[in-house]
Amino acid sequence: MLTSTNTAPYARTVTGQGPALLLAHGAGGSAAANYGPILPALAATHRAIAVDYPGSGKTPRAKGPLTLDTLADELITAADAEGADTFALAGYSLGTAVAVRTAARHPSRVKALVLTAPFARPDTRMTLTAQTWHHLASAGTSSRDRDKLARFLLPLALSPEALEALSPQELADTLRGTAESVPEGTADHVDLVLRADVRADLAAVTAPTLVITTTRDQLVPPALQHQVATGIKDARVAATESGHLPFAERPAEWQRLITDFLAEHRPTTAPAE
C-alpha cells in the first residue's frame, strides 16, 4: 500500500513490502517525478522509502541553504521511522551525492548502493550549465519565466535522439508540462548541485555498488559518472542509452538494471515489519 506523510521533517512516501530500499531523487525533481514510472516494479520486491527534498512534493521549501548532510540525515530519519535498520539505497543525479554521503557515514546500514547519472563534483561545463539553471529557476514564477526555464532544460534533459523524435505537438506539450511541473525549491536544489563535493566520501563506501551511466546525457557528462565508479572500490558499471531522464526514455531498462542488481544483494530474510 502507498502511504505519504509530512508529519516528519520531510514528506515521506512508503510503498511495497520486503527489504527496505531508500530512494534519493534529483534536483528539480521529487520522489514521484523521478521514481514514479518504476516505483510499482521496485515495490514488488522491496519496501521503497522515499523523501521529498524541501520545496518538492509535499515538503515545504527550506528557509536556508540545503546541505548534503541534512538530506542524508533525513534519509536516515525516514529509515528509522520505518524500522529499517539496514537497507539498499538508490540515488539519481543530485540524489547520488546524497546517497554517497549516506553510505560513507553509515557503512553498516547500507547493504547495496545504486547510483544513476552520478557526479562527485560538477566540472566546469556542468557548473556553467547549473549556474544558468539556477539563475532561470530563481528569476520568477510567471508563465514566461517557467517557459524560459523549460526551453533551457529540455535539450539538456533529453538525449538528442529523443528530443529530435518529438513531433511539434509533442514538443509543445512537453515544454508546457516541464514548465508547469518545476518544483518551488528547484533553485535551492541546484544551488546544492553547485556546492556538492563527495570526492572524499567515495573511498569510504563499502557497500556493493552499481553505477548506471546515462550515455547520452547532456547535463551530467558521462566522464563525471565514470569518475564516481572509479572512486568506489569494486563498483560495477552498467549503461543505459538515454539522456539524463532514464525514467522518461528507458524506464523498463532502468528498472531492470536496478532490480537485477538488488536481487544479487537481497537479504536471505526480510526484516520484520
Domains of the chain, with CATH numbers?
3-120+198-264 (3.40.50.1820), 125-186 (no CATH)
Q: Are strands 236-240 and 110-116 parallel, antiparallel or unpaired?
A: unpaired
Scored b (16 or more CB within 10 A) or e, 12-33 reads bbbbbebbbbbbbbbbbbbbbb
Q: What is the mean pLDDT of residues 66-75?
A: 97
Question: Is 267 a residue whose pLDDT tops 80?
Answer: no
Question: Is 272 a residue whose pLDDT tops 50?
Answer: no
Q: What is the mean pLDDT of residues 184-207?
A: 98
pLDDT of residue 268: 59
Q: What is the mean pLDDT of residues 196-223?
A: 98
pLDDT of residue 266: 84
Sole residue written with cell 547519472: 117
Number of residues that this document lists for the chain: 273
Share of the chain above pLDDT 90, in %: 92
Q: Which residues contact 256 (CB under 8 A, 6 or more apart)?
A: none
Q: What is the mean pLDDT of residues 103-120?
A: 98
Which pLDDT band, with edges at 50, 70 and 90, does 265 fall under?
A: very high
CA distance linking residue 72 with residue 67, whole number of Å: 9
Scored b (16 or more CB within 10 A) or e, 211-224 reads bbbbebbbbbbeeb
14-to-3, 51, 52, 94, 121 alpha-carbon distances in Å: 5, 9, 12, 21, 30
Closest listed residue to residue 247, CA positions, set 10, 15, 31:
31
Q: What is the mean pLDDT of residues 119-123?
A: 98
Q: Look over the chain and give the mean of its residue pLDDT values, rounded to a whole number.
A: 94
